[in-house]
Amino acid sequence: MISGLVVHFSEDESLTNAALIEIKAKANIDIGIQSERCLPIVVETDSIESSHKMTDWLFELEGVSHVDVTYVHLDE
Protein backbone atom coordinates (compact mmCIF):
# COMPACT_ATOMS: atom_id res chain seq x y z
CA MET A 1 0.00 0.00 0.00
CA ILE A 2 1.35 3.36 -1.06
CA SER A 3 0.40 6.72 0.48
CA GLY A 4 1.42 10.25 -0.32
CA LEU A 5 1.67 12.41 2.79
CA VAL A 6 2.64 15.96 3.65
CA VAL A 7 4.50 16.41 6.94
CA HIS A 8 4.19 19.87 8.50
CA PHE A 9 7.07 20.74 10.81
CA SER A 10 6.84 22.97 13.85
CA GLU A 11 8.59 26.33 14.07
CA ASP A 12 11.37 24.98 16.29
CA GLU A 13 14.27 24.22 13.95
CA SER A 14 16.14 21.87 16.20
CA LEU A 15 13.09 19.71 16.71
CA THR A 16 12.44 19.80 12.97
CA ASN A 17 15.93 18.60 12.20
CA ALA A 18 15.64 15.79 14.74
CA ALA A 19 12.37 14.69 13.19
CA LEU A 20 13.86 14.83 9.70
CA ILE A 21 16.69 12.53 10.74
CA GLU A 22 14.23 10.02 12.13
CA ILE A 23 12.12 10.14 8.97
CA LYS A 24 15.10 9.77 6.68
CA ALA A 25 16.14 6.70 8.64
CA LYS A 26 13.01 4.81 7.60
CA ALA A 27 13.64 2.56 4.61
CA ASN A 28 10.04 2.59 3.42
CA ILE A 29 9.78 6.37 3.21
CA ASP A 30 10.74 8.32 0.12
CA ILE A 31 11.46 11.97 0.72
CA GLY A 32 10.43 14.74 -1.66
CA ILE A 33 11.47 18.35 -2.03
CA GLN A 34 10.72 20.37 1.07
CA SER A 35 8.74 23.55 0.62
CA GLU A 36 9.08 25.89 3.60
CA ARG A 37 7.88 23.81 6.54
CA CYS A 38 6.04 21.22 4.42
CA LEU A 39 7.70 17.96 3.40
CA PRO A 40 6.12 15.68 0.84
CA ILE A 41 6.81 11.98 1.42
CA VAL A 42 5.69 8.65 0.04
CA VAL A 43 5.18 5.76 2.45
CA GLU A 44 5.08 2.18 1.30
CA THR A 45 3.68 -0.45 3.66
CA ASP A 46 2.31 -3.97 3.36
CA SER A 47 -1.04 -3.34 5.00
CA ILE A 48 -3.50 -0.63 5.90
CA GLU A 49 -2.81 -1.15 9.59
CA SER A 50 0.92 -0.57 9.25
CA SER A 51 0.18 2.45 7.11
CA HIS A 52 -2.00 3.83 9.90
CA LYS A 53 0.77 3.06 12.40
CA MET A 54 3.28 4.89 10.28
CA THR A 55 1.05 7.93 10.07
CA ASP A 56 0.50 7.87 13.83
CA TRP A 57 4.25 7.55 14.40
CA LEU A 58 4.88 10.57 12.20
CA PHE A 59 2.22 12.51 14.01
CA GLU A 60 3.76 11.80 17.40
CA LEU A 61 7.27 12.91 16.44
CA GLU A 62 8.29 16.04 18.29
CA GLY A 63 8.80 18.70 15.66
CA VAL A 64 5.90 17.49 13.51
CA SER A 65 2.85 19.66 13.97
CA HIS A 66 0.55 18.09 11.45
CA VAL A 67 0.29 15.37 8.76
CA ASP A 68 -1.88 15.55 5.65
CA VAL A 69 -2.82 12.48 3.64
CA THR A 70 -2.95 13.43 0.00
CA TYR A 71 -2.94 10.12 -1.77
CA VAL A 72 -3.72 6.51 -0.96
CA HIS A 73 -3.38 3.50 -3.22
CA LEU A 74 -5.05 0.46 -1.76
CA ASP A 75 -5.36 -2.39 -4.16
CA GLU A 76 -2.27 -4.48 -3.45
Partner 1 sequence: MDSQSQPKQLTLLGFLILSLSVVGYFVGLQSPVSSELEERTVDPLLVKHETGADDDVMLATHYAKMNLSGKADQTWMTKLSDLQELPYDPYEKIEVSFDQKKEALLYREKNRAFNGAPPTVPHPVDQFSTASCVACHTEGAKTASLRIPKMPHPFYANCTQCHVEQKSPLLNDELFRENSFVGLPAPEGGPRAFSIAPPQIPHTEWLRNDCLSCHGRTSLPGIRTTHPWRTSCTQCHAASSDSGQTLIDSTPQFLSPIPIKK
Partner 2 sequence: MQKSQSSRRDFIKSAAMASATAVAAGISDPSLPILSAAEVGDSGLEWNKAPCRFCGTGCHVQVGVQDGRVVAVAGDKNADVNKGLLCVKGYHVGAALYGEDRLTKPLLREGDSYVEISWDKAINIIADRIEGDPHKFAIYGSGQWTIPEGYAAQKFIKGGLSNNHIDPNARLCMASAVTGFLATYGVDEPAGCYDDLDECDVLIMWGNNPAEMHPVLFSRVIDRRSRGEEITLIDIGTRRTRTTTQCQHYLEMKGHGDLAIANGIAHLLIKNDTYNKEFVESFCNFKAPDSDNPNLHGKGISFDDYKVMLERYTPEYVEELSGVPADDIRMLGDLFGNPDIKITSLWCMGMNQHTRGTAINTLVHGIHLLSGHFGTPGDAPTSLTGQPSACGTVREVGTLAHTLSGGRVVANPEHRKHTEEYWNLPEGRINPVPGYHTVLMWEKFCTPSDQGGDIDTIWVQVTNPGQTLPNLNKLFNGKKELKEKFLIVSEVYPTATTVLADLILPSAMWVEKNGVFGNSERRTQQWFKMVDPPGDARDDTWQTIAVAHRLFERGVEGMKDKDGKFIFEVLDEQQKPVPIWQWENYYDTNVDKHLFEEYRQFTRLKHKDLAPYDEYVKERGLRWPVVQQEDGSWKETHFRFSEGYDPYVEPGKGMQFYHSSTKDDRAQIWFHPWEPPAEVPDEEYPLMMTTGRVLEHWHTGTMTRRIPELNRAMPAAYIEMNPEDAAAYEIRNGDLIRVESRRGVIELQAWVAGRGKPPVGTVFIPFFDETILVNDLTLDAIDPFSKQPDYKKCAVRISKV
66 touches which of partner 1, partner 2, none (CB within 5 to 8 A by kind)? partner 1
Neighbour order of strands in the sheet with 2-9: 29-31, 38-44, 2-9, 64-73
In angstroms, give the least distance from the CB of 15 to partner 1.
Answer: 18
Using the minimum distance from each CB to partner 1, give the nearer residue, 20 or 64: 64
| Choices 19-27, 45-53, 55-63, 64-72 (CB under 8 A): range interacting with partner 2 | 64-72
Q: Is there binding between residue 41 and partner 2 (CB under 8 A)?
A: yes
Q: How far apart are CA 9 and CA 15, in angstroms?
A: 8
Q: Which residues 10-69 are close enough to bind partner 1 by CB under 8 A?
A: 52, 55, 59, 66-69
DSSP H or E run through 32: none
